[in-house]
Amino acid sequence: MLRAKNGCLSLGTGKMDYIRFGSGPRILVMLPGVGDGLKTVRGMALPFSLLYHAMARDFTVYVFSRRRQLSPHTTTREMAADVAAAMDALGLSEAAVLGVSQGGMIAQWLSIDHPEKLSRLVLAVTLSKPNTTVETVVSGWLEMAERGDYKGILLDTAERSYSPKRLRRARLSYGLLGNVGKPRSFERFRIQAESCVTHNAYAELPRIVCPTLVIGGTEDAIVTGQASREIASQIPGCELYLYAGLSHGLYEEAPDFLPRVMDFCR
């Protein structure tokens, strides 16, 4: 049922890693967050399929990384064009799309510029225009990347993403974090992080025509809960669900997050 597969596409703009799993009749495209800049989904088909096995019966899931080589100042809109090209290369004429964090920024442009490709849209813990919170957070990440502080980026992300209860457990494993998985270069991460603070699709969100669900956390310490409200206010007929007391990592903490997304995408 899992049918896990690792793949790589050769697009006109470069190579893009992707994975596929599941055997369901519905197509679901997942776009991950800025952590993709540190490590793509290359080789992760089996771990992803096991983590999201609940999706495997109803959906065939594709998870797209950003291109391996990104030009300086690549925008979220250009990244969305890559996703559209990847869907064409795989013969995916239409899909439900789940965008998480930076993946949600890319999904906004995908639905604006290529509306025929989306049947449903879920935007989770993301924003449509810059705010002081995300600018401060990303500035800190960029400083850490400049000095090669991989562990610092991971720790700061965790501290901002989880509830106090989850953090108490997570902190027990902090000592195990080291250079495992550390990228040879932080350039790709820097490009993706910078694109988060230049992303601004707010004025064009009313052009999104597919059924849309926005999910956020009231205590989101990276993009803010207000950012989810702003998105929902701009998209006609949009549904909004806010998790009280949860932050940016709610998609890992909230037990009903995945069922909520699957029910909407069905």
Mean predicted confidence (pLDDT) in 206-235:
98
How long, in residues, is the chain?
Answer: 266
- How far is 8 from 234, CA to CA, in rounded Å? 35
Q: What residues contact residue 52 under an 8 Å CB cut-off, 6+ apart?
A: 21, 61, 258
Band of pLDDT at residue 164, cut at 50, 70 and 90: confident
- How far is 154 from 149, CA to CA, in rounded Å? 9
Q: Is the pTM of this model over 0.85?
A: yes
Tell me the per-residue pLDDT of 4-38, one tens digit each, with 9 for 90 and over.
999 999 999 999 999 999 999 999 999 999 999 99
Residue 256 has pLDDT above 90, yes or no: yes
The total of structural domains in the chain comes to 1
Residue 104 has pLDDT above 70, yes or no: yes
> Average per-residue pLDDT in the chain?
94
Residue 55 has pLDDT above 90, yes or no: yes
E strand spans, the chain: 5-11, 14-21, 26-31, 59-67, 95-100, 118-124, 212-217, 239-243
CATH number of the structural domain spanning residue 59:
3.40.50.1820
Range of the domain at 22: 5-265
Which letter, b or e, does each residue of 93-130 get, where b requires 16 or more Cβ atoms within 10 Å of its Cβ?
Answer: eebbbbbbbbbbbbbbbbbbebeebbbbbbbbbbbbbb
Band of pLDDT at residue 178, cut at 50, 70 and 90: low
